[in-house]
Structure 1
Amino acid sequence: MTTLDSVRRSPNALASHYGRFDVANRLLLTGHSHQAWPDVALHGQIEAFTDASTAVDGKWDLAFAKAESLRAGFRALLDDPGGDIALGASTHDLVIRFLSTVDLPGRPRLVTSDGEFHTLRRQLARLAEEGVEVVRVAAAPVSSLAERMAAAIDDRTAAVLVSSVLFETSRIVPDLGALAAACENGGVELLVDAYHALGVVPFSVRSQGLGSAWVTGGGYKYLQLGEGNCFLRLPPHATSLRPVVTGWFAEFDELAATASGLVGYAPGGARFAGSTYDPTSNYRAVRVLEFFAAQGLTPEFLREVSQHQTGLLGSLFDALDAPPSVISLDRSAPRSAYGGFVAFTSPRAGELRRELAERGVLTDSRGDHLRFGPAPYLSDDQLEKAITTLGELV
């Protein structure tokens, strides 16, 4: 079983499983955006091709079985064993279907934060151009964000949309359970974006009091599942909702009679299905989830590794004694208040990112945030080399 000591050392105990991404010889600090895939991911893609070539049209029964295995994996990660899960190629696809269920004509007001990922930022901005009132609550200070969002709810509010971990700063948003209760009391839908939590910050629908909430996310980042593996967790009351944006796959397993002439929907998460899709991504995802299980890469262990790695990056950065006018690190909260990456602040973040890449250190930047995202296949020596290179540039 993988241990913290075994991933700290060189060579890292997991690195040999990522030979095609050559993680042992590359400084891949883009883990918050796109972690490397283990080699077994390719086996999943080959399996998808084999099923298609062997079964032809009969491949869909096999593909649907893979999809159900993926749903089970997401249920486990969400600590929501009985939850209904819809799958989609992107969170945007799923958020659009979610928004098509809420009563925007009757309650044309949405509450969100100004720290949301581009999926929400852009789409909500476009809805605002069409007359929907979009209230953007300041993400900082994050300690009171949930409380301030709850205070912004009124009888015209259809939904509240917020991240569990902010994508720019890595700050964990506390008290989402209280926000869920406020939304439920007001008849308002709550959508929580857990993309920057799963695989690096344990997330529990049950213990966080999010039973009445919608939860979306995917496997492109910390879960190493690659593109095309996103989900929408439905709250129990969603079984009565009818998304306006719907595809013909949502008719599969339809049990309700449609004598009324209304469009019918399948039960559970299938009511949010789209149409024909490429199942290869699901095959890949199932193989990766099996690899995680075999290696003991549980949410709790991955959090332990992440806290060590981000803590190490922070302490190494402090030792640089860099001029705050050039680059700095927020120390207003303990490391436990952050997710899986370290966000340095610099007016030259983009320039530093480009110069780091030229020297073999791959990071990314958003505005004035330079983001270092470690991953469990990187050793302590590799993290030290990355910060040393940053120090040379500074």
Structure 2
Amino acid sequence: MSGYGIEDLAHAPNALAEHYSRFRVTERLLLTGHSHQAWPDVALEGQIEAATDAAEYVDGKWDRAAAKAEEVADGYRRLLGDPGGEIALGASTHDLVLRFLSALDLRRRPRLVTTDGEFHTLRRQLGRLAEEGIEVVRVPAEPADTLAERIASEVDDGTAAALVSLVLFETARIVDGLDVVAAACARQGAELLVDAYHALGVVEVDLAALGLSDAWVTGGGYKYLQLGEGNCFLRLPPHADRFRPVITGWFAEFGELAEEKSPGLVRYPNGAGRYAGSTYDPTSHYRAARVLRFRDEHGLVPAFLRELAQHQLGVLATTFDELALPSDVVTRDRMAPLSEYGGFLALRCRDAQGLQAALGERGVRTDARGAYLRFGPAPYLSDTQLTDAMASLGEIVRG
């Protein structure tokens, strides 16, 4: 395993950047790392292997694809600190959340508790369910310090599930105390779904230590993990076999295809297969498996990535503070230490979209969500690239 120190990646050129030549990370200021990180060059090896196996084995490729899928699932187990966890895979978190929601008894418990700071996957789908008569309680995401307690207080015996992020996607604030929500759900017989998408790769996650052993957890590899599209997961709690998802793919009976079918009876396997989908493009898993091996080979493990993310956030925050820009134009939350944030710096702006567009014209790629302009570093960026990007923001605001 080739390990790096923070100084190896802070200096220019960044020691890891040579492995991302196809994305030209040394030539561009790519600060959308929380949304889409560059893929390492070896990702192409995975895609070529998928095409090669398809050509060589034809329909027999699926056994090889299943092995790749299991390699991806095992990667998520390691990232969650959950070595024995059951992991269902899907093309998107939306696919997987739909299966989860369809397993709930919403006739008997027509109430869902969430926050107003959830990613669009939950925001839109829960909004549509509310239009059909499901009671959706949206707890204000701010202040984040008390969010877990406020969610827990809304969980009652009519609640089917609470759905909340471990890291809020707009502001990067870590939601502490989710064990309180888990305990409230357990008391009331409700389920807890935790969205860990913006945590994995920049925040160390250990489900047992967080008190989330009985939680459903979803996320994916499109953002910090550099796995590309089509690599999402749903981690099942130990009691998941109690449920029969209404939205169910034929892969869920893959082991029983040769058996005689019973009219009117839909069977389910135990474990992750219960939440399986249907035919998909396995190229995503070939690519992800190769990238996960690359990350292991280069020592890109959760503890180091957390240390690096904190360092890079510190560089961005310090550089921004030194600019001393007018707070009515752009500012950042200084109420909490950087240790309470995930992997990007969120700046509250009078015109976040305008600043994003102006930065883009200067070759600095960021993104904007609502009032927030977001700077997302990545392991292949040097400190100089981070300070150059923030300096461009200062020039735009002053100009």
Q: Same fold (TM over 0.5)?
A: yes
The partner residue of 1:324 within 324, 327, 332 is 327
Q: Distance in 1 between matches of 2:226 and 2:314?
A: 22
User: What root-mean-square deviation, in Å, do the aligned CA atoms of Structure 1 and Structure 2 show?
Assistant: 1.3
In the TM superposition, what is the alpha-carbon distance from 1:257 to its structure 2 partner?
A: 9.7
Counterpart code for 1:21: F
Counterpart pick for 1:370 among 369, 373, 377: 373
TM-score w.r.t. structure 1 length? 0.98
SS across alignment from 1:243: coil
| Matched residue, 1:139 | 141
Q: Amino acid of the residue matched to residue 152 of structure 2?
A: A
TM-superposed CA distance for 1:254, in Å, is 4.6
Residue in structure 1 matched with residue 58 of structure 2 by the alignment: 56
Deviations 1:267-296 (A, max 9, x none): 211111111000000000000000000000
Find the aligned partners of 2:255 and 2:324 in 1 and give their Cα distance: 62
Q: Tell me, in whole angstroms, the C-alpha distance in 2 between the residues paired with 1:332 and 1:240.
A: 43
In structure 1, distance between residues paired with 2:166 and 2:104: 21
Question: Partners in 1 of 2:363 and 2:143 — Cα distance?
Answer: 35
Conservation of the 8 A alpha-carbon contact between 1:252 and 1:266: no
Q: Distance in 2 between matches of 1:132 and 1:254?
A: 35
Q: Kindly indicate whether the alpha-carbon contact (under 8 Å) linking 1:40 and 1:287 is maintained by their aligned counterparts in 2.
A: yes
Partner residue of 1:390 out of 379, 385, 393 = 393
Q: CA deviation at 1:240?
A: 2.2
SS at structure 2 position matched to 1:33 = coil
* Distance in 1 separating the partners of 2:211 and 2:309: 25
What secondary structure sits across from 1:120 in the alignment? helix
Match of 1:80 in 2: 82
Name the counterpart of 2:336. 333
**Which whole-Å CA distance do the structure 1 matches of 2:251 and 2:332 have between them?**
48
What's 1:169 paired with?
Answer: 171
Structure 2 match to 1:313: 316
Provide the C-alpha distance between the structure 2 equivalents of 1:76 and 1:306, rounded to a whole number of angstroms.
19
Report the secondary structure of 1:252's partner residue. Answer: helix
- Secondary structure in structure 1 of the residue aligned to 2:161: strand
Cα separation, 2, equivalents of 1:274 and 1:391: 48
Out of 273, 276, 299, the position equivalent to 1:273 is 276
Distance 2:45 2:138 in 1: 44
Query: Is 1:253–1:267's contact at 8 Å kept on the other side of the alignment?
Result: no
State the partner residue of 2:244.
Answer: 242
Alignment of structure 1 residues 18-29 onto 2, 5 Å: 18-29=20-31
Q: For 1:260 and 1:25, how far apart are their aligned partners in 2?
A: 61
Where does residue 8 of structure 1 map in the other structure? 10
Alignment of 1:126-205 (within 5 A): 126-205=128-207
Q: Does 1:47 align with 2:49?
A: yes
- The amino acid across from 1:285 in the alignment is A
1:254–1:267 Cα contact (<8 Å) kept: no
* SS of alignment partner, residue 23 of structure 1: coil
CA distance in 2, matches of 1:97, 1:107: 17
Uncovered stretches (5+) of structure 1, i.e. residues with no partner: none
Q: 1:360 to 1:245 in 2, by over 3 A?
A: same
TM superposition shift of 1:93: 0.3
Higher mean displacement: 255-264 or 47-56: 255-264
Q: Letter of the 2:229 partner, please give it.
A: E
User: Which of 222, 225, 237 is 1:223 aligned to?
Assistant: 225
SS of 1:165's partner is coil
Query: C-alpha separation between the residues in 1 aligned to 2:6 and 2:194?
Result: 30
Paired letter, 1:306: A
User: For residues 198 and 360 of structure 2, what CA distance do their matches in structure 1 show?
Assistant: 23
Unaligned 5+ segments in structure 2 are none
Aligned equivalents of 1:158 and 1:191: distance in 2?
11
1:68-95 CA distances to partner (integer Å, 9 max, x unpaired)?
Answer: 1111000000001111000000000000
Output the CA distance in 2 between the equivalents of 1:67 and 1:141: 39
The ranges of structure 1 where at least 4 consecutive aligned residues each deviate by more than 3 angstroms after the TM superposition are: 254-261
Give the aligned partner of residue 94 of structure 2.
Answer: 92
CA distance in 2, matches of 1:379, 1:266: 48
Per-residue displacement from partner, 1:175-228 (whole Å, max 9, x unpaired)? 011211110111000000000000010111111111110000000000000000
Q: Secondary structure at the match of 2:308?
A: helix
Question: Structure 1: how far apart are the matches of 2:307 and 2:126?
Answer: 35
Question: 2: distance between equivalents of 1:319 and 1:28?
Answer: 22
SS class of match (2:193):
strand
Report the Cα offset of residue 260 of structure 1: 8.5
Preserved contact between residue 115 and residue 138 of structure 1 (Cα < 8 Å): yes
TM-score by length of 2: 0.97
- In structure 2, C-alpha distance between the alignment counterparts of 1:188 and 1:146, rounded to whole Å: 15
Secondary structure at the aligned position of 2:204 is classed as: coil
